[in-house]
Amino acid sequence: MLRRFGRPVPEVFRDEVMDLIGASNSWQWIPYTNSYAVVDGRRQPSVSGGTRWGGGVWIHAWDLARFGYLWLRGGRWEDRQVLPRAYVRAALTPGPHGPDYGLLWWLNTQGKNLPGLPANAFAARGAGSNTVVILPEQDLVVVWRWHAGNEAEFARRVLAAIR
């Protein structure tokens, strides 16, 4: 992606997604010390998606919820299509890694990833047990951080509490 955009992915993510959804300026996408590439004669960070071993996206719950809401709305924020609809559909379609995994999203097509939740529910799972569960049928985004439990059980309890 660095070569495709010609600039670091965190900059693209900030300019093309996070700023458009009103995210704070406190989130960070940190490259590993050995994850740099020379593109167009400049040494630029080539970041990973995870936060393993000290690199990746560091984000608080509010910004994570806004990002989840963007996905709940099919990539749309207010009157603007921030993420292409075709990309959102592709990301939420089972891929070559199995029926319950899309493009960086855990799907619930077989009811195994998020037991007891609808088949169209999907989730992102990050380091430190940080999760975002998207429940389209309920028009709900659930963010749970630094937990040691089951995100599906937590989401079911949230649903029970708001009914």
How high does pLDDT run on average in the chain? Answer: 90
User: Which whole number is the average pLDDT over 91-116?
Assistant: 94
List, for residues 126-154, the tens digit of each pLDDT value. Answer: 777 789 999 999 999 999 987 878 889 99
Q: What is the pLDDT of residue 50?
A: 58
Find out whether 72 and 136 touch, Cβ atoms under 8 Å.
Answer: yes
Residue 52 has pLDDT above 70, yes or no: no
| Rounded average pLDDT over 29-57 | 79
- Other C-beta atoms within 10 Å of 115: how many? 12
Containing structural domain, residue 111: 61-163
Q: How far apart are CA 134 and CA 34, in angstroms?
A: 34
Among the candidates 44, 59, 74, a domain finishes at 59
Last residue of a domain, one of 20, 40, 59: 59
Number of separate domains in the chain: 2
More confident residue, 146 or 43: 43
The CA distances from residue 99 to 57, 95, 104, 114, 151, in Å, are 26, 7, 13, 13, 19
Please give the pLDDT value at position 49: 58
In this prediction, residue 90 carries a pLDDT of 96
pLDDT value of residue 145: 85
Which residue reads 């609809």 in tokens?
A: 85
CATH of the domain at 113: 3.40.710.10
pTM of the model: 0.89
Task: Write down which residue in 59, 90, 108 finishes a domain.
Answer: 59
pLDDT at position 51, please?
58
Q: Determine the average pLDDT of the residues in 31-47.
A: 86
The CA dihedral of 103, 104, 108, 109, to the nearest 10 degrees, is 10
Q: Is the pLDDT of residue 53 over 80?
A: no
